[in-house]
Structure 1
Amino acid sequence: MSNAHKRKKDPEAVRELLLEVAASLCLEKGAASLRLDAVAAEAGISKGGLLHHFPSKADLLVGMLDDLIARLEAAIEGEMRDDVQPHGRFTRAYLKVCFAPGGMQEGARWKAMTGALLAEPQLRRRWQDWITQQAERHADTDSSPDCELVRFAADGLWLASLLESHTLEPARAQTLLQRLLELTRS
């Protein structure tokens, strides 16, 4: 009898493992080279088990993005709960999460997803939809030009961090963060 039959069923743990392995393989080889059989083998799951959760590579990539967006949104919501000033609250939270010391909590997963976001129109649309929803949801408090500028700056800093194209000394990063936070309060 195989270990699969003895293993306790935990679909959420399996799904999370598959997403983690897929992100790791994307980071190592690129999203274009991601193969479902490689994900299943690396995760120690049958290909049928993987297909139960993600019927196609496109579904796996969407699952990866949706999981990252959910984590990002939860982190932003956590930051917003601690901020008593309504004006710019979402932007400050977005900035703090994207500009976290040492990088975002899921930085490796975002790095793996970045290539796929650039290459896959359906993923780009999902990301654009999330950005649009957040802009609409927080329009009353975060639609000022300064808040928009800060979000664009956060995106640029985030991309530079993911691509490792710029090195910021911690003191300089803190100075930039404080200046951007000031802009959200004007």
Structure 2
Amino acid sequence: MSESHRRKKQPQLVRRQLVDVAAQLAFERGIGAVTLDAVSEAAGVSKGGLLHHFPGKVALLDGLFDRLVDELDAAIEAAMIVDPLPHGRFTRAYLQVVADLKEKPGENRQWAGLTMALLNEPHLRARWRQWVDRRAGEYVGTDSSLNAAIVRFAADGLWLADMVGSHDLSAETRSALIERLSALTLS
């Protein structure tokens, strides 16, 4: 009996590993490097095993998208729970979660990989747009001001700058920037 038949099957771990590898490849070498062969080889999973979990590259990218968006939603919800002010709560939480990614290199690399995919894959851009529209619709009464929109756009810019390392802000300047943006959500 081969080793693969004796080892305990852990489909959730394998699925997560495949998604992690896809994100890493996209981050390090660009979305073009995310091929089924490259992912299966880097993950140490047979191509058949990969295809069992993800029937193609689109499904693999969708798996990456789903996992990261679920984690983003959970982090936003956790930040919202501790914020006592309803007006602008979602926007402040979004800003906080995005700003905190810089301190979480593993998550930031995965988001960078997904961002590369978003730029190149129209169906992922459409899914991101659906997420943005859905979340904006949920908080139309509290987070639909022009200032809230400005803060979310600034958060996206900060996120991109962090991913590509385009700005070298001191910790004090970064903190002041986030604080100023957060204050905008109150009006």
TM-score category, normalised to shorter length = over 0.9
- Quote how far apart the aligned CAs of 1:104 are: 5.1
Tell me which amino acid in the other structure corresponds to 2:91: T
**TM-score of the two chains, using structure 1 as the length reference:** 0.96
User: Normalization by structure 2: what TM-score?
Assistant: 0.95
Query: Conserved in 2, the CA contact under 8 Å of 1:32 and 1:116?
Result: no
Task: Report how many residues are paired.
Answer: 186
Residue in structure 2 matched with residue 16 of structure 1 by the alignment: 16
Q: String of CA shifts for 1:52-71, please: whole Å, max 9, x gaps.
A: 11100111111111111111
Partner residue in 1 for 2:172: 171
1:144 corresponds to = 145
**Separation (CA, whole Å) in 2 of partners of 1:104 and 1:133:** 26
Q: Which runs of 5+ in 1 are unaligned?
A: none
Cα 1:98–1:59 shift into 2, 3 Å? same
What CA distance in whole angstroms lies between the structure 1 residues aligned with 2:86 and 2:159?
24
> Which 4+ runs in 1 deviate beyond 6 A?
none
Q: What's the CA shift for 1:113? A: 1.4
CA RMSD of aligned residues (A): 1.3
The percentage of aligned residue pairs carrying the same residue is 51
Gap change, CA 1:28 and 1:54, over 3 Å in 2: same
Could you tell me how far 1:182 is from its partner in structure 2? 0.6
Give distance in 2, aligned partners of 1:111 and 1:103.
14
Spell out the pairing of 1:37-186 with structure 2 (5 A cutoff): 37-100=37-100, 102-103=102-103, 106-186=107-187
Task: Give, in whole Å, the separation in 1 of the partners of 2:25 and 2:145.
Answer: 40
Structure 2 residue runs without a partner (length 5+): none
Cα 1:155/1:103, change in 2 over 3 Å: farther
Partners in 1 of 2:171 and 2:3 — Cα distance?
48
